[in-house]
């Protein structure tokens, strides 16, 4: 029995005293339900093989104890395969740390602010690649050292970086596009989870900025988009090593990068919005018709929930609780192969791919998909679609009676911020998923 059993997650993710209006976390650590450090360690064989099936149910029911959350997430997100050994994982971890260091050094050569502890908060070059004089650069890691010479030194560094790429010869377009995102990353980093005491440490802010800057360079198809800082921030909080946090974020982005990819024909998250519309039309046709009548048939009012996975609707602690329940419910041992690979990582352990899977190794959501005839080649709808559907169902009566326009729809859905119950939302999503699969099978 833990001494902190029954404690809220807020006691692990302290909020700054002046932020009194921040929603309190509802998630409580419960002995016998929440995955404990003791239960987690007991799930490993002497060689390090993880019996993932023995912990999935515990996570689905009660989340993960904050003291082990980072290492559990690395498995849930597919950084490591359960059947790997302690030695294999350590070798892979070291290999990834070296790779991240190389990419970071590559970015540092293009712009010396990377890895310096400073965060760019204003454009440093023009659209044509010309350096901007005296860009506003925030010296985050050492705020006491800020003085009148900072803008001058920043300008000189920008010019030196520019000249190292050929002086007046135009920079490569990819480099220009990357440099143009750096100040936007900085502005978003300064707004991300600033209610947490964790980010009073300026080194943590610069760590978040560095990871996002490196990712924007590595994944050139997506680059950086607003919302990514909200997805990356928990990784910084949970994992001490910057490289480990990067790889955890990279794995999460494999699942979600399609949301951020935009083409001339479509917005990335559009597929999920269309799926949400289809699900609502099947499960609550009257609500769907009402939303269409109001001009909301594209379901764009749900855009934010998909992009940042309910970070705005939940406290920090509850959003972590929701995420790990989702990932446990969706878990598939082939998670390493399931999601679109942006070409960031090349090593593949083919050992488990293609083998017949035990349903015990699957999350409850995936078991339902398998039971209802979903083929391994199918790309099942993410549980997040049913989570949003469950929110709409919960607010259906209010939307039907009070929404007279799209502004009303947005206001009603915004009112759930701080009141949404992560556990109930997951239970509701599972019920809707089961109901939808049954209805979808009928001719």
Residue with tokens 């915004």: 414
Residue 371's alpha-carbon distances to 253, 356, 438, in angstroms, are 28, 15, 11
Q: Strands 137-138, 119-120: parallel, antiparallel or unpaired by DSSP?
A: antiparallel
pLDDT tens for the chain, residues 1 to 443: 344 555 566 678 988 988 878 888 888 888 889 999 999 999 999 999 999 999 999 999 899 999 999 999 999 999 999 999 999 999 999 999 999 999 999 999 999 999 999 999 999 888 888 888 765 666 444 444 333 334 334 444 544 444 444 443 446 889 999 999 999 999 999 999 999 999 999 999 999 999 999 999 999 889 999 999 999 999 999 999 999 999 999 999 998 988 887 766 666 788 899 999 999 999 999 999 999 999 999 999 999 899 999 998 899 999 999 999 999 999 988 876 666 555 565 454 444 444 556 777 888 888 888 887 654 445 678 999 999 999 999 999 999 999 999 999 999 998 888 788 899 999 999 999 999 988 876 65
**Is-contact 10 24, C-beta < 8 A?**
yes
Residue with tokens 């339902």: 368
Query: In the numeric block, which tokens belong to residue 267?
Result: 């917005």
- Sorted by where each starts, the structural domains of the chain and their CATH numbers stand as 9-76 (no CATH), 87-258 (1.10.8.270), 270-441 (1.10.472.80)
Residue 63's region, left for phi above 0, alpha for psi from -120 to 50, else beta, is: left
Alpha carbon dihedral 246, 238, 383, 368, in 10-degree steps, equals 110
| Model pTM score | 0.87
| Phi–psi pair at 407, nearest 5 degrees | -60, -35
Beta bridge partners of 196: 15
**Is-contact 355 81, C-beta < 8 A?**
no
**Is-contact 420 370, C-beta < 8 A?**
no
Alpha carbon dihedral 319, 320, 322, 323, in 10-degree steps, equals 120
């Amino acid at each position: 029995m833990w001494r902190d059993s029954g404690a809220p997650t807020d006691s692990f993710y302290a909020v700054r005293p002046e932020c009194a209006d921040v929603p309190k976390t509802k998630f409580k650590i419960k002995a016998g339900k929440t995955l404990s450090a003791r239960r987690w360690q007991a799930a490993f064989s002497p060689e390090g093989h993880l019996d993932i099936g023995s912990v999935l149910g515990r996570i689905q029911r009660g989340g993960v104890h904050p003291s082990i959350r980072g290492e559990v997430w690395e498995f849930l997100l597919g950084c490591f395969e359960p059947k790997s050994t302690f030695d294999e994982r350590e070798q892979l971890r070291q290999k990834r740390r070296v790779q991240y260091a190389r990419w970071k050094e590559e970015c540092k050569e293009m712009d010396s602010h990377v890895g310096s502890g400073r965060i760019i908060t204003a454009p440093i070059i023009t659209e044509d690649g010309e350096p901007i004089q005296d860009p506003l650069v925030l010296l985050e890691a050492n705020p006491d050292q800020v003085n009148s010479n900072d803008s001058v030194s920043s300008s000189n560094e920008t010019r030196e970086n520019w000249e190292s790429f050929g002086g007046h010869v135009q920079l490569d377009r990819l480099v220009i596009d990357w440099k143009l995102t750096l100040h936007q990353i900085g502005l978003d980093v300064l707004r991300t989870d600033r209610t947490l005491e964790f980010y009073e440490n300026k080194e943590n802010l610069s760590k978040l900025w560095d990871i996002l800057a490196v990712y924007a360079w590595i994944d050139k198809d997506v680059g950086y988009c607003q919302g990514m800082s909200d997805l990356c921030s928990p990784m910084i909080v949970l994992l001490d090593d910057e490289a480990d946090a990067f790889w955890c974020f990279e794995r999460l982005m494999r699942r979600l990068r399609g949301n951020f990819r935009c083409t001339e024909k479509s917005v990335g998250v559009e597929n999920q919005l269309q799926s949400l519309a289809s699900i609502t039309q099947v499960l609550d046709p009257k609500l769907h018709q009402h939303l269409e009548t109001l001009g909301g048939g594209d379901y764009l009012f749900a855009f934010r929930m998909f992009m940042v996975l309910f970070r705005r609707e939940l406290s920090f602690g509850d959003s972590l609780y929701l995420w790990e329940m989702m990932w446990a419910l969706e878990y598939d041992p082939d998670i390493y192969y399931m999601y679109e690979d942006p070409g960031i990582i090349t090593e593949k352990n083919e050992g488990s791919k293609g083998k017949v899977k035990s349903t015990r190794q699957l999350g409850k959501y995936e078991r339902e998909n398998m039971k209802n005839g979903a083929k391994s080649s199918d790309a099942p709808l993410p549980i997040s679609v049913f989570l949003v559907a469950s929110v709409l169902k919960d607010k259906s009566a209010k939307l039907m009676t009070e929404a007279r326009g799209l502004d009303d729809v947005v206001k009603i859905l915004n009112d759930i911020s701080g009141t949404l119950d992560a556990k109930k939302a997951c239970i509701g999503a599972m019920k809707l998923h089961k109901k939808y699969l049954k209805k979808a099978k009928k001719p």
